[in-house]
Amino acid sequence: MRLVLLGAPGAGKGTQAEMLTKLYNIPCISTGNIFREHISKNTDLGKQAKAFMDEGKLVPDSLVIELVKSRITQEDCKNGMIFDGFPRTIPQAEALDAMLKELSIPIDYVINVDVPDEMIIDRMAGRTVCPSCGASYHKTNKIEKVAGKCDLCGKDLIQREDDKAETVKKRLDVYHAQTEPLIAYYKGQDKVLDIDGVGSVDQVRARVMKALGVN
Ligand SMILES: [Zn+2]
């Protein structure tokens, strides 16, 4: 099973990707994870990607494609994969189609998780993380026991740069301009499953499973 997950940053794609990974026993190809791995290892590609991300800008196509290509040819992708956060633009989608055609492994479905902007801004702005152990919290969904302190290690919680309202708005603008045309692109291939992303994780999961015909 080869899937592409589409949806604005903060629409909850990552959570659904985790579920699909277990369901089909296939890896999730998240450019975010590939970037983070390269950044933590301080590779040349990682350094380049970080400079763009720090400014709230998208990493250029050529750089993204290079990273993805090396990832999907690894052994664990032989039964399929889920793309999360890639492709983000029409040129990336075309590059992905060309790559997969060469490997004779076309995309099966494109899952489009739809959530209104205001709801995404609200979700993201309420999020905090522990800089020490990585635990995450949310002002309405997952409240820490002592305000501003990590339940697990007691460290002061912080708001990630990526979660600040201004950064989120900037990313949503970029998303609407560059990524929404992808929905039309994949509708042209008759592969899109539209999913209402408003509601609990379980509700959205049930919608995804139903759309995929899984009971
Ligand atoms: Zn902690």
pLDDT per residue of the chain (215 residues) written in tens, 0 to 9: 999 999 888 888 888 988 999 999 999 988 878 888 889 999 898 899 899 989 988 788 888 888 888 788 889 998 899 998 789 888 899 999 998 898 888 999 999 999 999 999 988 889 999 999 999 999 988 999 999 999 999 999 999 988 899 999 998 998 888 878 999 999 999 999 999 999 988 999 999 999 999 87
Confidence (pLDDT) at 26: 96
* For helices 44-54 and 31-40, angle between their N-to-C axes, nearest 10 degrees: 110
Looking at residue 98, which CATH number applies to its domain? 3.40.50.300
Confidence (pLDDT) at 154: 96
Confidence (pLDDT) at 132: 95
Neighbours of ion ligand 1 (CB under 5 A): 130, 132-133, 135, 150, 152-153
Confidence (pLDDT) at 138: 92
CA of residue 130 to ligand 1 center, whole Å:
5
Confidence (pLDDT) at 115: 94
Calpha distance 164→168 (Å, rounded): 6
- Residue 2's SS3 state is strand
CA of residue 49 to ligand 1 center, whole Å:
27
> Residue 201 belongs to what domain range?
2-212
Ramachandran class of 185: left when φ > 0, alpha when ψ lies in -120 to 50, beta otherwise: alpha
Structure tokens at 120: 């995404």
CA of residue 207 to ligand 1 center, whole Å:
33
| Per-residue CA distances from 24 to 2, 19, 176 (Å) | 10, 9, 30
Confidence (pLDDT) at 85: 79
CA of residue 129 to ligand 1 center, whole Å:
8
Q: How many domains does the chain divide into? A: 1
CA of residue 147 to ligand 1 center, whole Å:
13
The residues that are catalytic are: 13, 88, 127, 160, 171
Confidence (pLDDT) at 32: 79
Confidence (pLDDT) at 102: 86
Confidence (pLDDT) at 69: 81
Q: Are 59 and 34 in contact (CB under 8 A)?
A: no
Confidence (pLDDT) at 173: 92
CA of residue 70 to ligand 1 center, whole Å:
33
